[in-house]
Amino acid sequence: MKIGFIGLGIMGSRMAANLLKGGHNLTVYNRTKSKANELLKNGAKWADNPVSLVKEVDVLITMLEKPDVVNLVALGEGGFLNAMKPNSIWIDVSTVNPSFSKKLSETATAKNVRFLDAPVSGSKVPAEKGELIFLVGGNENDLKEVQPLLDLMGSKTLHIGQHGMGSAMKIMINQMLGQAMLAFSESLSLGIAMGIDKTKAMDVLLNSAVSAPILTAFRSRIEEENYEPNFPLKHLQKDLQLFTDTAFEYQKATPLTNTAKEVYAIAKQQEMADLDFSAVFQLLNK
């Protein structure tokens, strides 16, 4: 089975590396070619553009920044979808909005391409270790066919439902992630202002029942003020935007997410876009 991978950023480069380690025949493409160097050294083949890549492969995986980018690379000028082999499978693991995934599945199906939305939970380190969690929307039989590939990149696959449901679950998770980080940052920042020792405040907050378990993993970043990105802040802000856009489609009010989204937007404007999203603590602690 020939596999293609488009999008070799923080996540994609590591996921593709695990497919290679699994012994697969892998062809890759990325807008910035230098990010493929390590993979090419380890045996991956390079395609000069997405169209020439998909002509070769039975399974395509895309890991791109956001819906506009997936749309551009798949359906824009020089887009790959028209060139995919009949009955091949396209797994989009990018974080996008559910209605966009559903639309992609309809467009792909009309072209006799099988589609799965399979965004991932887990960041740079789980991607490197092959310990991501896949949240999948689409046909169960298609998923079964590609499960061995997902097992090389992840430790768990959750079939959530039909097309779009993987993306739906993913934006729900990131909505809670974004809010948890903000709530923690706001509380810690006031604690410091009131004169509580930062280490003590962190000890108590992170060991209390009200703390989200994920926050413990960010403790050292905030202590050491190291915001080298595992999950860039601009992507988390994008995910909150996708959540509120989706809520609008369903006529649901999302007052907390709208506020959170704008706090991250302010951080983005203050040159934190490419830092880890936990850098939002800096904004609130100024």
Contact by Cβ (8 Å): 96, 242:
yes
Q: What are phi and psi of 252, to 5 degrees?
A: -110, 140
d(CA 265, CA 147): 37
**Residue among 66 and 102 whose Cβ is closer to ligand NAP:** 66
Whether 16 contacts 28, CB under 8 Å: yes
Smallest separation (angstroms) from ligand NAP to the CB of 184 = 18
Task: Give the residue with the Cβ less far from ligand NAP, 203 or 228.
Answer: 228
Nearer to ligand NAP, 64 or 222 (CB): 64
Least gap, CB of 231 to ligand NAP (angstroms): 3
Cα of 126 vs its chain's centroid, Å: 12
Query: CA-CA distances (angstroms) from residue 41 to 13, 44, 175, 227?
Result: 13, 7, 38, 29
Q: Shortest gap between Cβ of 7 and ligand NAP (angstroms)?
A: 4
Tell me which residue has its CB nearest to ligand NAP. Answer: 9
Q: 262 is written with which tokens?
A: 């704008």
Give one word for 130, left, alpha or beta, with left for phi > 0 and alpha for psi -120 to 50. left
d(Cα 255, Cα 260) in Å, to the nearest integer?
A: 9
Task: Please pick, among 170, 234, 238, 261, the residue that the annotation labels catalytic.
Answer: 170
Of the pair 132, 205, the CB lying nearest ligand NAP is at: 132
What's the closest the beta carbon of residue 265 comes to ligand NAP, in angstroms? 16
Work out how close the CB of 63 gets to ligand NAP at its nearest, in angstroms, rounded to a whole number. 5
Contact indicator for 239, 171 with CB cutoff of 8 Å: yes
Q: Tell me if residue 42 falls in helix, strand or coil.
A: coil
* Least gap, CB of 254 to ligand NAP (angstroms): 19
Closer CB to ligand NAP, residue 24 or residue 235? 235
Which tokens belong to 178? 């974004």
Our CB check for ligand NAP shows the closer of 126 and 205 to be 126
Token pair, residue 46, equals: 């390079």
Q: Is the dihedral of CA 121, 13, 84, 22 positive or negative?
A: negative
Residues of the shown chain interacting with ligand NAP in the complex, contacts defined by CB under 6 A: 7-12, 30-32, 35, 63-66, 69, 72-73, 94-95, 120, 123-124, 230-232, 235
The SS3 of residue 158 is strand
Known active-site residue 144: no
- Residues with catalytic roles: 170
